[in-house]
Amino acid sequence: MRADYIWMNGELRPWDQAQVHVLSHALHYGTSVYEGLRAYEVAEKAAIFCGPEHFERLLYSCKVLRCPSPFTVEQWMDAAARTLRANRQRSAYIRPLVFRGTGTIGIDGRKSSAEAILAAVPWGTYLGEEALEHGVDVQVSSWRRGSPGAGTPLAKIGGQYVNSQAIAMEAHDNGLQEGIALDANGYVSEGSGENVFLVYKNELFTPPISNSILSGITRGCIKTIAKDLGYTVTETAIPREMLYAAEEIFFTGTAVEVCPVRSVDRLQVGNGGRGPVTKAIQDVFFGIVRGTHADKWGWLTPVDMAVDMAADAAGDAPAPERVTA
Distance in Å from the first CA to the final CA of the chain: 33
Q: Which residues bind ligand PMP (CB under 6 A)?
A: 36, 164, 190, 193-195, 214, 216-219, 252-254
Q: Are the C-beta atoms of 110 and 65 separated by less than 8 Å?
A: no
Of 82, 88, 101, nearest to 10 by C-alpha is: 82
* Nearest-angstrom CA–CA distance, 157 and 71: 17
CB of 33 or CB of 217, closer to ligand PMP: 217
CB of 14 or CB of 298, closer to ligand PMP: 298
Phi, psi of 34 (to 5 degrees): -145, 170
Q: Are the C-beta atoms of 94 and 118 separated by less than 8 Å?
A: yes
Of 170, 172, 173, nearest to 181 by C-alpha is: 170
CB of 238 to ligand PMP, least distance (A): 15
CB of 131 to ligand PMP, least distance (A): 16
Q: Are the C-beta atoms of 51 and 36 separated by less than 8 Å?
A: no
In total, the chain counts a number of residues equal to 325
CB of 55 to ligand PMP, least distance (A): 12
CB of 31 or CB of 112, closer to ligand PMP: 31
Q: Which amino acid makes up residue 151?
A: G
CB of 216 or CB of 270, closer to ligand PMP: 216
Of 228, 204, 213, 201, nearest to 285 by C-alpha is: 228
* Nearest-angstrom CA–CA distance, 212 and 17: 38
- CA torsion sign for 75, 80, 81, 82 is positive
Residues assigned a catalytic role = 156
CB of 25 or CB of 223, closer to ligand PMP: 223
CB of 44 to ligand PMP, least distance (A): 25
Distances from the Cα of 139 to the Cαs of 94, 128, 187, 202, 214, in angstroms?
Answer: 29, 18, 14, 23, 19
CB of 318 to ligand PMP, least distance (A): 27
CB of 53 to ligand PMP, least distance (A): 8
CB of 89 or CB of 252, closer to ligand PMP: 252
